[in-house]
Structure 1
Amino acid sequence: MNVRAVDLPELRAELASFASSAAGASYWEEHAETVDYYQRTATDGDHLGNAVRDALNGDLFAVSGPMGELAATASQSLGLFDMEVQDLPTPAGVLVFEQPPQLLHGVDDSTPIVIHGATWTAGDDGEGGYVWIIPIAEQGAHSHLLLGGPALLPFSMADYLASVGRSEFTREKNLFDHLITTMRAAWLLMQQPLAEETEVQPDRAVRKRLRRIGHEPAPVRLIELRRPKSSGGQGDGDREYHHQWIVRGHWRQQWYPARQVHRPVWIAPHVKGPEGAPLIGGEKVNFLKR
């Protein structure tokens, strides 16, 4: 199942209806009673339900297939950093990947789970803040999308590692850890020049159906990957180069004076060196223009 940008307003309404129902209240209460983390933090079902409903009231985002794949790939090398609410595209939101990226490989499970996105809402506990993240997933033979159990992600990475009982970060993660790192990468990428945003309005039939069930139609912000410009030239500074070489995609720390913080910025793969010079590792470079 793939969710298109135009499908998101009705999907949000469906999830919101469940979150506000008696079945939803029972679902959150069950999570609060069975998950050790909620018990340790004295988080009850009402608290979880309120977090989910707040998250679902946020702005709507749809991430295109290439952008989602980039987020999943770039997340694998994304370093640790303490988040702030400014690192989120909005304090609350609903995001779906139009083509769900592969977040976890080699899992042998009789009830496979496909992550389609997540909804989130930020808060402040007076010690740096946090964000609730609720997966939007497709599980096993279900023909509709489900909300997963909310998880609290402290903005402080030290607090996050403590909350999951670790002293250091490891790349051996479960499915939810992969979702967290992919969402963090997506949030960063969405606010960088490589992202192109367009607004998708629900069509007339969708608007009528939403209003009939008491939901006001809202636009969806479609996030697509802007085609990078080629980077040629002589290289850095005044140094003269006689070859071209491929620079792999990577994160670079950039200073934001207004916020007084460093934040990772994704540098897309590109070719450097003087145009026409031989490529290290090969004599010819073919570019595919779309």
Structure 2
Amino acid sequence: MMRRSASEPEPLAWNPPRPRELAGIREDLVRSTASTLVHENTALNLAAGLGTISLKNVGPRMTATVLLSEERRRLTSAHLWSISDEMTQVSISAGRKLPSWKVQPDDVPSPSGLMMFDTPLGYYRADPSGQPARIVSIVAASWGPTRIPRDSSDHLWVTFWSLTDHDIGVQLLQQNGYSAARARRIHQSLGDFSWDNEVLLTYGSPSVNVKYLGDPGEAVDPSDVSIASELTLGWIQTLRAAWLLQKQDTRRPITEIEEIPISKTMRKQLQRMGYNTDPVRVVTLHRRHRSRGPRQQANGYTVTVRSHISGHVRWQPYPSRGVIEGIWIDDHVRGPEGAPWSQRTTTVKRLDRPPGGRPPIKGK
């Protein structure tokens, strides 16, 4: 087992909340976006250039007001999703192999949402000046409409949330002239989750706005190899995979979705405050207990050995809807149960066409 060096920072321990706790967590996040202390902290980060998206020719305080009020509106109407550990791992793997970076309106499972992952969907190392390095864990994502762009109906705002490191945060605020008491008050108001990063997606376009909203703006094409490894872009694909896997309409679905109603008492309270009160959707990996016999190929060849096939994307036509969609084929073992393992390596990692390419039509 590879050991982490003594100087290498450890990520904060992540104990994911139970699905029934998500309504309360959403309420805490909404409350934090209305806090004057959180507004102060957000403006401070924007002034330091730490925001991914800012408003062009608008000061940091006004920008903070706009961004926080929009996030508060999205969270209030958000549907709640809890993604299991296994399902997160499948989403990460599938996201890396999605054949396109384009987001379509029907990809999104709800107009606004808050999705909590049982294992972090990503990490990155932060090295603040004068402070020890730390590992930041991204554990949730929220999304919804934005009114900032002129053509707002064509855009989707996505916010990524990390575990709050209160100790580091207090130290950073003190470095910027805050007293210890005020720094603690600010970070206590942040709660356990912090707004970490944000992206603006344009429906039907592979470009992602990464800096400044407005004309002309600044966008990137994620299919560009030179930037495709950027962490935030990878998180987008993981989130997209988590959305798409739920709607995958095949005879052997990848997911199982259980709806857990919000308690009656809390539901009444949330309704009075204008919150969405739909059940929490818990997404887990579909369990298949059926044993499969030898698979007969179309050419009459019978598979008599077992081999591992890694997850990959395959184009699937849906004639009734007149569309062809990329579907995720999960990791699986090919061959009859109890057969000897193949001596050859048969791991499959492929797309039917290069990323962004035309899907096959009638096998061509």
TM bin, normalised by shorter chain, reads 0.7 to 0.9
**Which letter does structure 2 place at the counterpart of 1:263?**
E
Q: Could you tell me how far apart the structure 2 residues matched to 1:129 and 1:257 are?
A: 27
Task: Give the aligned partner of residue 236 of structure 2.
Answer: 180
Bigger mean CA offset, 37-46 vs 228-237? 37-46
Cα deviation for residue 173 of structure 1 reads: 1.9
Q: Which runs of 5+ in 1 are unaligned?
A: 283-290
User: Percent same amino acid at aligned positions?
Assistant: 25
Of the candidates 113, 121, 136, which is equivalent to residue 144 of structure 2?
121
Q: Are 1:16 and 2:76 counterparts?
A: no
Give CA-to-partner distance per residue, 1:106-127, whole Å, 9 cap, x none.
x475232111111101469659
Bigger mean CA offset, 162-171 vs 149-158? 162-171
Size of the aligned set, in residue pairs, is 279
Cα deviation for residue 230 of structure 1 reads: 5.0
Q: Which runs of 5+ in 2 are unaligned?
A: 1-14, 128-132, 168-190, 210-217, 345-364
Q: Are 1:48 and 2:104 counterparts?
A: no
Q: Could you tell me how far apart the structure 2 residues matched to 1:242 and 1:8 are?
A: 46
Bigger mean CA offset, 112-121 vs 234-243? 234-243
1:56-135 equivalent positions in 2, closer than 5 A: 56=75, 57-101=77-121, 103-104=122-123, 107=125, 109=127, 110-122=133-145, 126=151, 129-135=154-160
TM-score by length of 2: 0.64
**Which letter does structure 2 place at the counterpart of 1:72?**
I
Of the candidates 154, 159, 170, which is equivalent to residue 202 of structure 2?
154
Q: Could you tell me how far apart the structure 2 residues matched to 1:159 and 1:259 are?
A: 27
Q: Could you tell me how far apart the structure 2 residues matched to 1:259 and 1:122 are?
A: 27
Cα deviation for residue 242 of structure 1 reads: 4.5
Select the structure of larger CA radius of gyration.
Answer: 2
Give CA-to-partner distance per residue, 1:246-265, whole Å, 9 cap, x none.
32211112234466543321
Q: Are 1:137 and 2:193 counterparts?
A: no
Task: Give the aligned partner of residue 224 of structure 1.
Answer: 284
Q: Are 1:237 and 2:295 counterparts?
A: no
TM-score by length of 1: 0.78
SS in 1 for 2:240: helix
Q: Alignment RMSD, CA only?
A: 3.5
